[in-house]
Each structure stands twice: as structure tokens, then as C-alpha cells.
Structure 1
Amino acid sequence: MLGQLATTGIGSGTSIDIIKFHAMFSVKNADMILSSKDDIHFRVRSQLLQDTSEWFRTLLSLPKNVPGANETDILRLDETGDVLAALLRMASGMEIPELSSIEFCEDILNAAEKYEMPGPISIIRLALSSSLLSTSPIRIYGIAASRNWVAEAKAASTRTLSIDLFHADNIPEISRLDSHILTKLLLLHHTRRQAFKAALDNASVFYASRDIIGSRAGQLLMIFSMLMSSDELSSPHVRIAGRSCISRNLPSTTSKESSNVCRRRSISLNTI
């Protein structure tokens, strides 16, 4: 019954009275009714929609050439009730719902872009850059990079440096990325690894001689690559102490050489 009423476009006064509305959007003097695809209804003032959405502003500027133009409109939308409720709460200046799920954030963002609502878009953009949103940095990077959000994309891509992009758990997120966005991310990882290798060969970064460092750079780089994955941190084959003196898995050296190798300056990947 609700689905039939919601698809009529115009509802009579009697039929609207039997529709169940969202508790936060049930003011009877509203002149529009929005219906979600799961048959949740929202009473909304058309002026609010015109003020906050270019899409609704254009829609509501069109002439009404239908009978009963003075009755309340029922407009069927493609979004779920949860997404519409969040979108309308943001547009209305109400308390923002919890945005802990990246899927929920992305659904709201897609709806806000569809209806051209800059306010909700800016809220989701801020949420994506918040440390409170616990999700894969690959996912956030993809969302930000596809919209040319430079600061957010840069922050997320930096966070990906601590994970193995090709770990089985990350493949679903990698497969979401457009090819040009994925290429940029792979290039970043390659560039950082090359920069780290160059730093190992640089005697001004390591106190050991260039010859000693050069002979071990490949092995140190391999161990460093293992350390990029959090799963490897507990490996019995890798031991980190103090300032990362990586001595196991290296060829035998004199104690003096090992000491020199370990006395390196700290290297920040973010500044290489």
C-alpha cells in the first residue's frame, strides 16, 4: 500500500494521513513529501530543498501542469531511508548521524553529489579526513583522488605506505580504483622504495662507509619491504631494537661494521 501511494506522484489528503513518516521529518505544514526506495517518508519544506540543492531548485522551478497542484507532492527517490535521513539532517542543520561506516559515508556522498548539495558534501569530505573514521586508506584514497581532493588523497596515500597493497585483504579495495588512480598510487610506493634505497647508499645518511652500505643495500631494502607490512613485524626473522638495528639476515660482518651500520640517522619516509 505504501509503495502504491508513493508512486502516485500526487497524494490526496486522506491517503497522506495513513502514511508513516520518519520521526524527525513529520511536520504537517511541510509542502513536500519525499519517499525512499524502502518506503520511508519525509515531510520537507520545499524552500529548504531549494536553498540547499541545485537539483531540487531546478526541479521545483518547473511549472506544475497536473490536476490538484495545491495538494502535497510525493516524490519517489532512489536512496534508502537512512541515506535520505542523513542527507536531510545535514541540510537542515540538525545533529549529524554517526559516520563510522565508509559505505554509509560514500552512499551519502553519492546522493549529495546527485542532488548537488554542497553542504553535505563538505561534511563527508571532512569525515573522510578524520582519524575517527576507521577504514582502509586505499578506499579513502580512491574516493578522494577520484574527486580531485588533493589534501585528502595525499594524506590517505601516505597512510597506504605502511600496508602491503597486494595483500589478499586489500585486493577488493585495489580493484575499486580506476586505472589512472591506481597507477599514481603504485608509482608513489615505487618512488618511496627507490628513495629509501638511495638513502641507504648515501654515506651522509649512514655513518658507515659507502662500500659497506652499497654491498648490503639490496638486503636492507628487502627487509624494509617486509616491515612495510604489519604482519611481518612479529616475524622471528626480523628484530627491531632502538633505532632499527637490522642485523639478522645480513652477511656476517665485524662487530665494528655492524655497529657502524646500526648507527644511522633516522629517516622519515614522509620527507624523502
Structure 2
Amino acid sequence: MHYYNFNCTDAVLRSLDGEEFPVHRLILGLSSPVFQGMLGLPQPNTNTSKKSTIDLSDPSDTLKPFIQYLYPRSPPKITDISMWAALYAIADKYNAEVVMEPLRDMLIPRFLETHPLRVYAFASQWGFEEEARIASRRTLTMDILNDFPREEAEFMGGAACQQLLFLHFNRREAARAVVGNHPPPSSNSPLCQCPPPNYTCLVLALCQHVATRPWLTAEELYGEVGKWDYPGKCNSTCRNTIKNMSAYFSSLLKGLSDLPQTI
């Protein structure tokens, strides 16, 4: 399917697997200085009855959406991060900023939640410093110190991999220190008959949690609290106990949020 008038095209791009894409010299020249050099624009010969054919080393499944991006129509929907990577690589190859800019803009909003490590890898590969920082923070919800995916390590290269591991290790050790050393809440009101909470088991569980995933959210904290054998109801008021525990959890999360979060 072509997104333009087929009859007025004056050049052909032929993919590595032999598929031909009729295109316009003007569009190619305006979009890419590399294509402009290949086509020799402007043409000294005004006879355009014979279309110039350029053989490219790119496969058709990548070349087709790339060409769609060059034309002022609706761009293709990129839902796979591997396709995003292939498209950005070909756009960089031909220095087509008209394609590179929208692809960069979609990287974080479209793929961060589902592929944070891959986003970090590609952002590091292409020098997207801000996107790499954002993605590095999102990876703190993952256990990469004990199980680092080999494929992602190959994508991001040694320096970026080392930076991320350094962040995770330091954050893990700092988070364990915050959890382990966090002062327990003050004693309950004398009017309350509840036994004082024993935070030892909860602290141990939280330390184990941050040892693998050094990003503790409120949902995860209260998930661990739900497994904890905290004091039950008594005949008197437990309001002071609940207030103290809530303050303890809030200050704990605040202490964790103050730790380094990005590369």
C-alpha cells in the first residue's frame, strides 16, 4: 500500500529482499541528506521518464514503515520495541531527522512500562540521556542484580550496563540500611490494651524485598504489612496504634524516596 500518488513518483527504492518502493526524489532529498547524495539532487537531466532505482541493504519490513514516516501522512503504528529499534537505526543511517524525532518522542510513553530495561538499553545506545535516566529509575522495580537478562546486556553495552548495576547495588544497600535502621514508632497510649507491635519480622521481610527490587512503593509496603501479624483489636481504642504505624510507614517511604533513583 502506498500513501501517495503512484503515477507521479520518479525514483524507486529496492529493499534487500527485492521489494520495490516507488518514491519521490523531492521527498527523499528533503528528508535525508544521505538520499539526496544518492540521487544526485538536483538532477541536471530533466528527463524523468526513467525512474532511478537505488538498491538498499535494508529489509522491506523495516524500509516500508520508514518510507511511510517520510511522507506527510499518518505514520505507521509501532507497537513492538524491536521494530522501533530497527526503524531508528535506519533513520539514523540515512540521517532522516523527520523520522528520528517522532521515534524518540514515543520511546518513553509507549514502551517504558512494558520494557524498561530495553528502553534503557536503546536510550543509552543512542545517547538519549534524559530517557536513560527515566528508564533507569523504572528498572529499580526489577531484580537485575541476581538475574540480568543477557539480551538486554548485549543491547546496552558494557558502560551502560555497569552504570545500571552500580545504581541497583548502591540503592539496594542504602535501602536495606534505611529499612533496618528506621526507628520504630513511639509506644502506644496507656489507654490502649494492645501489645506493642513487634516490627522485627516486618523489617526482615522488607529488607528481603529491597534486596531484590530496591524500589519499595506504598502498595508493596502495605502488601508486606498485610502478611504481618500486627496487633489485633482490643476492648479500648486502637487509634493511637494505627496512627503510629501509619506515621512509621510514611516516614519509611520518605526515607526510601530520598535515596538515589537514577544513573
- Aligned mates of 1:53, 1:171 — CA distance in 2: 35
* Distance apart, 1:175 and its partner CA: 3.5
* Distance apart, 1:31 and its partner CA: 1.3
The 3 A distance-change label for structure 1 pair 50 and 181 is same
Match 1:222 to one of 184, 190, 208: 208
- Aligned mates of 1:187, 1:136 — CA distance in 2: 20
Aligned to 1:267: 253
Percent of paired sites with the same residue: 22
Matches within 5 A, 1:106-125: 106-125=85-104
Please say if residues 197 and 217 of structure 1, whose CA atoms lie closer than 8 Å, have aligned partners that are also in contact. no
- The structure carrying a bigger helix percent of its residues is 2
* Distance apart, 1:184 and its partner CA: 0.4
CA-to-partner distance for each residue in 1:145-193, whole Å, 9 max, x for gaps?
A: 1222112111111111111115668332233321110010001111212
Please say if residues 121 and 160 of structure 2, whose CA atoms lie closer than 8 Å, have aligned partners that are also in contact. yes
* Distance apart, 1:107 and its partner CA: 0.6
The two structures have a TM-score, normalised by structure 1, of 0.69
Q: Does 1:31 align with 2:17?
A: no
Please say if residues 122 and 155 of structure 2, whose CA atoms lie closer than 8 Å, have aligned partners that are also in contact. no
Match 1:49 to one of 24, 28, 41: 28
Aligned to 1:172: 151
* Distance apart, 1:25 and its partner CA: 5.2
> Cα RMSD (Å) of the superposition?
4.0
What residue identity is the alignment partner of 1:194? E
Please say if residues 26 and 43 of structure 1, whose CA atoms lie closer than 8 Å, have aligned partners that are also in contact. no
Please say if residues 138 and 160 of structure 1, whose CA atoms lie closer than 8 Å, have aligned partners that are also in contact. yes
Count of residue correspondences:
232
- Aligned mates of 1:143, 1:162 — CA distance in 2: 19
The 3 A distance-change label for structure 1 pair 171 and 208 is farther
- Structure 1 unaligned runs (5+)? 1-21, 234-238, 249-258
* Distance apart, 1:139 and its partner CA: 0.9
- Aligned mates of 2:186, 2:70 — CA distance in 1: 61
The 3 A distance-change label for structure 1 pair 49 and 208 is farther
- Structure 2 unaligned runs (5+)? 188-197, 230-242
- Aligned mates of 2:178, 2:221 — CA distance in 1: 19
Aligned to 1:130: 109
Aligned to 2:179: 200
Please say if residues 11 and 22 of structure 2, whose CA atoms lie closer than 8 Å, have aligned partners that are also in contact. yes
* Distance apart, 1:84 and its partner CA: 1.6
The 3 A distance-change label for structure 1 pair 173 and 182 is same
Please say if residues 34 and 77 of structure 1, whose CA atoms lie closer than 8 Å, have aligned partners that are also in contact. yes
What residue identity is the alignment partner of 2:207? L
Match 2:74 to one of 85, 90, 95: 95
Matches within 5 A, 1:11-90: 22-24=1-3, 27-61=6-40, 71-90=50-69
* Distance apart, 1:201 and its partner CA: 5.3
Structure showing greater relative contact order (alpha-carbon pairs closer than 8 Å, 6 or more residues apart) = 2
- Aligned mates of 2:120, 2:73 — CA distance in 1: 29
SS of equivalent residue, structure 2 residue 76: coil
Please say if residues 158 and 270 of structure 1, whose CA atoms lie closer than 8 Å, have aligned partners that are also in contact. no
The two structures have a TM-score, normalised by structure 2, of 0.71
Matches within 5 A, 1:182-261: 182-200=161-179, 203=182, 207=185, 220-226=206-212, 241=222, 244=225, 247=228
* Distance apart, 1:116 and its partner CA: 0.2
SS of equivalent residue, structure 1 residue 71: coil
The 3 A distance-change label for structure 1 pair 63 and 44 is closer
* Distance apart, 1:82 and its partner CA: 2.6
